[in-house]
Structure 1
Amino acid sequence: MKKITLNYLNSFKGLSKEVWWLALITLINRAGTMVIPFLSIYLGDYLKFSKEQIGTVMICFGFGSVAGSWIGGKLTDKIGYYKVMVGSLVATGFFFWGLQFLNSFYSFSLGIFLVMMVADTFRPAVFTALNVYSKEENKTRSLTLIRLAINLGFSAGPAVGGFIIVTAGFSGLFWVDAITCIIAGLLLLKVLHPKKAKEIDTHKTENPSSVFSDFPYLVFFLSMVLFSFIFVQLMSTMPSFYKEYHHLSEDTIGIILGVNGLLIFIFEMPLVKYIEKRNIKNIDSTIIGAILTTLSFIAILFSSYRFESIFTGMLFLTFGEMIAFPFSNRFAMKRAKRGNFGEYMGLYSIAFSIAHIAGHKSGFESIAHYGYVFTWKLMAIIGAFTVVVLWLLKIILKREKNQEAV
């Protein structure tokens, strides 16, 4: 047990103090966005929006995320990651506070679009900051640490948010969200000011090219949209499947979903370090993650075995996520050095925003018309196609490397 503990702790060694500060700021920020998990409840029970109106609001949420990711990438390249991060955090706090005063369908739709647009300018900027604050050999683990902070934040946020709603109502939730965002921004000002933070990687690209001229990266972007499309089912259609198809109680569903977060917390960093030691290429690791995620949908098709298939599916999905996300992110960061870094990372973030726009609604529409079994088969097919696209990308990259060597 002592050896296992030491190996786990050693997997965190070597990361810069700036990365640890960035992880803490991300944790505060993500834990603070408590409104998001309760948004559909707030819109339906409090504002009395119809299901169609709630669906439209969530689409505006997604489009705001797309716009923010793109604008954030552009701004990061023009004014720098530090100003974008501070501005995003502080402004998001004020926007969250103002959101509670919007009660009509149109005003709230516009409000949530603006909130997400401002909030998600943070994403390309934080990727750029990670690249600057990390040594080359530590970049993937630095990304993994931020993912752990995000997962912990999303785990703690809803629990605390539910308590706040019960004691102070939804208004209290908006206030806490606003305050935590501003606190995260002020903390960033205090500990990561350019005069205090140490930049480890100061790589700058001369005459950077547009991301849209990088064909291999556009193929990679397509693969990430497809992968994210099936992954987001974990947050929407999967809990519904457990409830309606298997008739599981909410607390049991919570335990199953909790296994995902617990496994990530325990295994992701050591797993990433293990893969790095084996010198497995980023694109190969991403392919492995996509295969495991695809297998998760195949596993739950054997639903007659109930818990065995459910937990097997969750294990495949979780380990697929733990491998695919850090190494796909690392691939994007390495590729980004060919052009404007923020623009590249902005497009990477947009892949997941697009999945949120299309994935949830498409999944529920498929279930409503054709049922769960058909939907999981469809997701498995999309997953298989994702693997094919990634494999083609591997071939394209090999040819590119050979041409550059000539």
Structure 2
Amino acid sequence: MLSAIFRSYTGSFGDLRKEVWFLALITLINRAGTMVIPFLSLYLTKSKGFSLEEVGWILSFFGMGSVAGSWLGGKLTDTIGHYKTMTGSLIFSSVLFVLLQFPQSFWELCIGVFLVMLVADAFRPAVFVAISAYSKPQNRTRSVTLIRLAINLGFSVGPAIGGSIIAGTGYAGLFWVDGITCLLAGILLLKLLDPKKALANATEVNLKPQSVLKDKPYLLFIFAMVLFGFVFLQYFSTVPLFYAQVHRLSEFEIGVLLGLNGFLIFLLEMPLIKFLEIRKKSVITYIGLGAALTGLSFLALNLGQWIGVLVIGMVLLTVGEMIAFPFSNTFALQRADKGRQGSYMAFYSIAFSAGHIFGHNSGMQLINHFGFTVTWNFMIVLAVISCGLLIWLKFILKKEN
């Protein structure tokens, strides 16, 4: 029985091109090194002594940099190509991550965080277009899932190592590790990926591309993803504060709990996606299911002081994430075939960058004024609205088809 399970697991990875595996390796190294981001709110409060209100505004600049970077990455991808855009983003962000440890004042940190995300998130639209170029159409969802596995394996390792680095050397060590791993990922990209093979395998060029602003169903989808991202991204700012302030967890314990998310995704996401693909339900249905489970994770956080609710919440979030992200990526890539792929994928990235602008800051302000319980209830309401928009989108798509 175990051998059959193992064969089923390894079979879910079959028929993926080696270039997709190279992309996954590069993403794994880059993501494992991005240790500053999960600990940013703790770094700003505990090491720098900023108030929750100030941290909220700094994280808004994080989001604005992410939005600007996603837009810039989409424009660069449509003009100079995904290969050059990814390489430049990795190499230049390696320098900026190292430099981010030196700003001290509020405005210096706002500008520093903005510049880091401006350069680092130019990578995101480019890597989505690269997936489309290197993968076969029938394997697109699983190719996206493999990249996500690399991201989450890196995320499971990164916070745990990051917590250990903080315990041993302080926060400064995180910035150096981030910079070195970004540089290593950029070097590997230059060594392993052949842009000519991507061009040879790319989807047919659309000679009359549709403007993303005229694709109303896609814009509705983006708005639903903005709300979903608003809720989901709380796990990278306000939820770690909840772990520390309410449940008194240490940085290492927080890193282990966040690492559980990446470990479960690495273990279960690819077989789950293959299983759901076979059932041939609507892609939008699966995205809505993922958003609903993410909302339920915040309901779990309000169940009491028992430490087990944190694990339950993380498991619900993880399953929701495993379902929502690969299928939302696939839907975005499918619609991108209608127009300029870089612009379409930039809008998809911006949907989650907007969560960084408004989600972190609003979450901090809500906690500061009303506490964690009200904040988690607010996130549940937003998740419900996101699900409602996706149901509406499903009816629109049926008419469109």
TM-score (norm 1): 0.90
Q: Which moved more, 1:306-315 or 1:144-153?
A: 306-315
Q: Which moved more, 1:100-109 or 1:216-225?
A: 100-109
- Corresponding residue number in structure 2 for 1:313: 313
Conserved 8 A contact 2:100-2:175: yes
Conserved 8 A contact 1:191-1:197: no
Q: % of aligned pairs identical?
A: 56
- Corresponding residue number in structure 1 for 2:83: 82
Distance 1:400 1:237, change over 3 A: same
- Cα deviation code 1:349-378 (max 9, x no counterpart): 111111122212322332333333333332
In 2: Cα distance, 1:99 partner to 1:364 partner: 22
Distance 1:354 1:255, change over 3 A: same
- Corresponding residue number in structure 2 for 1:339: 339
Distance 1:337 1:74, change over 3 A: same
Q: Which moved more, 1:151-160 or 1:64-73?
A: 151-160
- Corresponding residue number in structure 1 for 2:348: 348
Conserved 8 A contact 2:154-2:262: no
Q: Which moved more, 1:153-162 or 1:88-97?
A: 153-162
Conserved 8 A contact 1:291-1:320: yes
Q: Report 1 or 2 for greater relative contact order, CA contacts < 8 Å, sequence distance ≥ 6.
A: 2
Q: By how many angstroms is 1:155 displaced? A: 2.4
Conserved 8 A contact 1:67-1:117: yes
Conserved 8 A contact 1:303-1:310: no
One-letter identity of the residue aligned with 1:161: G
Number of matched residues?
A: 400
Distance 1:369 1:45, change over 3 A: closer
Alignment of 1:22-37 (within 5 A): 22-37=23-38
Q: By how many angstroms is 1:127 displaced? A: 0.1
One-letter identity of the residue aligned with 1:386: S
- Corresponding residue number in structure 2 for 1:134: 135
Q: By how many angstroms is 1:298 displaced? A: 3.6
Q: By how many angstroms is 1:77 displaced? A: 0.7
- Cα deviation code 1:58-88 (max 9, x no counterpart): 2211110110001101110111101101111
- Corresponding residue number in structure 1 for 2:325: 325
- Corresponding residue number in structure 2 for 1:369: 369
In 2: Cα distance, 1:193 partner to 1:76 partner: 16
Q: By how many angstroms is 1:324 displaced? A: 0.7
One-letter identity of the residue aligned with 2:131: L
One-letter identity of the residue aligned with 1:373: T
One-letter identity of the residue aligned with 1:331: F
Distance 1:322 1:45, change over 3 A: closer
- Corresponding residue number in structure 2 for 1:404: none
- Corresponding residue number in structure 2 for 1:382: 382
Q: By how many angstroms is 1:255 displaced? A: 5.2
SS at match of 1:303: coil
Q: Which moved more, 1:317-326 or 1:171-180?
A: 171-180
In 1: Cα distance, 2:257 partner to 2:50 partner: 30
Distance 1:46 1:247, change over 3 A: closer
- Corresponding residue number in structure 2 for 1:216: 217
Distance 1:165 1:8, change over 3 A: same
In 2: Cα distance, 1:138 partner to 1:332 partner: 15
Alignment of 1:2-401 (within 5 A): 2-44=3-45, 47=48, 49=50, 51-165=52-166, 170-195=171-196, 199-245=200-246, 256-303=257-304, 306=306, 309-401=309-401
In 2: Cα distance, 1:40 partner to 1:59 partner: 12
- Cα deviation code 1:7-27 (max 9, x no counterpart): 111111111100110011011
Larger Rg computed on CA atoms: 1
Distance 1:99 1:310, change over 3 A: closer
In 1: Cα distance, 2:392 partner to 2:276 partner: 22
In 1: Cα distance, 2:292 partner to 2:394 partner: 15
Conserved 8 A contact 2:70-2:346: yes
Distance 1:104 1:194, change over 3 A: same
Conserved 8 A contact 1:31-1:152: yes
Q: By how many angstroms is 1:342 displaced? A: 0.6
SS at match of 2:346: helix
Distance 1:252 1:181, change over 3 A: closer
Q: Which moved more, 1:108-117 or 1:193-202?
A: 193-202
Q: By how many angstroms is 1:292 displaced? A: 2.1
In 2: Cα distance, 1:234 partner to 1:265 partner: 18
